[in-house]
Amino acid sequence: MKTSTVSETHSYGSANLTGYTYKDQVCLTSNSASCVQNFEYFAVFDQFGLRPPIEGILGLSQNKQFIFSDTPRENGPLFIQELQKAGKIKSQTFSFNQRGYYGDPSTFDIGDPVTAKM
């Protein structure tokens, strides 16, 4: 459901993204355990500064001030935070495991890391 009627432009570093705010069920997989109901996200229809394709900002960032910036920035809404509020994960963490060029798949863990992958 579109919640904004006027397009907005947000800056993320050197990128400028123009779009609308929506609320909807957002899922990372077809498994309902990865879904957040009425999650607010920013759907991009125009951008400058990032290599396409880009479709939106989901809210996968830290819930704290960026360490190299003195300028206060508002974070959120954060998908990981909403997953924890909904009781889907225990901790507001996520991690990446990027594999090399030899056919092993890269992974993305939500919640506590899977130590067997480390």
Q: What is the pLDDT of residue 60?
A: 66
Model pTM? 0.64
pLDDT > 80? residue 41: yes
Q: Is the pLDDT score of 36 beyond 70? A: yes
Higher pLDDT, 83 or 109: 83
pLDDT given for residue 100 in this prediction: 62
Most confident of 26-35, 92-101, 107-116: 26-35
Under DSSP, is residue 20 helix (H, G, I), strand (E, B) or coil? strand
Check whether 73 has a pLDDT greater than 80: no
pLDDT for 76:
62
- Count Cα atoms within 13 angstroms, Cβ side, for 82: 24
Q: Under DSSP, is residue 107 helix (H, G, I), strand (E, B) or coil? A: strand
Over pLDDT 90: what percentage of the chain? 0
Q: Pairing relation of β-strands 56-57 and 94-97?
A: unpaired
pLDDT at 85 over 70: yes
